[in-house]
Amino acid sequence: MLQQTQVATVLPYYNKWLRRFPDFSSLALAPESRVLHGWQGLGYYARARKLHALAKIVFRKHGGVLPDKIDNLRALPGVGRYTANAVATFAFDRSVPLVEANIARVMARLFDVRDPIDATRGREKIWRYAADLLPARGAASHNSALMDLGALVCTARAPKCGICPVNKFCRVQNPEALPIKKPQQPPKELTEAHAFTFHRNRLLLEQSSGRWRGLWILPRARSISSSRLVHMSIFPFTNHRITLKIFVNPPPRLRKKTQRWFSTAQLASIPLPSPHRRAIEQLLARRLQKLCSTFPSA
Ligand code: SF4
């Protein structure tokens, strides 16, 4: 959950998730729609799918207990070097290095690394330095202390070098110039047109097979030339900036296999990506308002 997402945002989702899936077996046995529904609002749904796949493997191959060996952890879906080492060091106190954003910044400055830390050469240097500093015992405390050092003292802006406990080993001259990162590509603009089809108090939705695989979205708009635009919003997705346009469409003569009608009460229990959920809530609230205004006030 914490990949690409801040702790404060994650906490309520994390607690809710653990109430819903308290162990690997409950997650492994859950249908995908329930897993995606539990993840709803966090975005990057590939993480939820991989966690689901991971739970199934842990349940079937490891008796429902997370393996403690790095190789076994790395073999699980969605677990790369960082996650495997983080679990190994914090859960099992293994003496393995850890590099996340805070530690990468500390290492880049301590050892004056001038290579971009998000390119292979720079990244490997940082991991090597982190491994060199690792104590034989107490790696969990050591890694935790390095993270805190980066978060509280060796901050991205205005690092507090005057009170830094490793000041005398630090090689950097101008800390704020490090770490170096590859130049960012500007986001690609994309416009997507979807249809709002509300008929006999039910909304037509489509199960996505693309970006939001398994989640329910407003169907793609068929023809927009004569349709009325009722909603427009912008949201980021990886390196894209997507403009979501929603048009009122009449009910289709033939409904696709992937489409289904939902009552408004059902919407709360199905997984919907946040941009579509927000748009649907706004449009339904607007409909209700319009309906109310047609009744004479008492
Ligand atoms: S001395 Fe300054 S730049 Fe070096 S590690 Fe400490 S806070 Fe960071």
Q: What is the mean pLDDT of residues 14-41?
A: 95
Euclidean distance between the first and final Cα of the chain, in Å? 50
- Which range (138-147, 167-176, 208-217, 218-227) has the least confidence? 218-227
Residue 297: the pLDDT is: 53
Gap from CA of 170 to ligand 1 centroid (Å): 6
Q: Whose CA is nearest to atom 3 of ligand 1?
A: 175
Q: CA 118 → CA 26, 93, 121, 147, 237, distances in Å?
A: 37, 27, 9, 18, 20
Ligand 1 atom closest to residue 166's alpha carbon, by position in its atom list: 6
- Adjacent-strand bridge partners of 193: 245
Joined together, the tokens standing for residue 284 give 């339904």
**Consecutive H or E run containing 290:** helix 274-293
Q: Whose CA is nearest to atom 4 of ligand 1?
A: 170
Q: What is the mean pLDDT of residues 46-68?
A: 95
| Interatomic CA distance for residues 27 and 20, integer angstroms | 8
Q: Where are the domains of the chain?
A: 7-177, 188-293
- Strand stretches in 145-215, DSSP E: 188-196, 198-199, 202-207
Q: In which band, very low, low, confident or very high, does the pLDDT at 296 lie, cut at 50, 70 and 90? A: low
**Per the CATH hierarchy, to which homologous superfamily does domain 188-293 belong?**
Nucleoside Triphosphate Pyrophosphohydrolase (3.90.79.10)
Report whether pLDDT(53) > 60. yes
- Which range (13-17, 208-212, 294-298) has the least confidence? 294-298
% pLDDT > 70, the chain: 97
| pTM (two decimals) | 0.79
- Strand stretches in 202-271, DSSP E: 202-207, 216-217, 228-237, 240-248, 259-263
Q: What is the mean pLDDT of residues 131-141?
A: 93
Of 222 and 220, more confident: 220
Residue 298: the pLDDT is: 46
Q: Check if CATH label 1.10.340.30 holds for domain 7-177.
A: yes
Please tell me if the domain spanning 7-177 has the same topology as the one spanning 188-293. no
Q: In which band, very low, low, confident or very high, does the pLDDT at 249 lie, cut at 50, 70 and 90? A: confident
Gap from CA of 160 to ligand 1 centroid (Å): 7
Residue 295: the pLDDT is: 60
Residues with CB under 6 A from ligand 1: 106, 109-110, 153-154, 159-161, 164, 166-167, 170, 172, 175
Q: Are 58 and 30 in contact (CB under 8 A)?
A: no
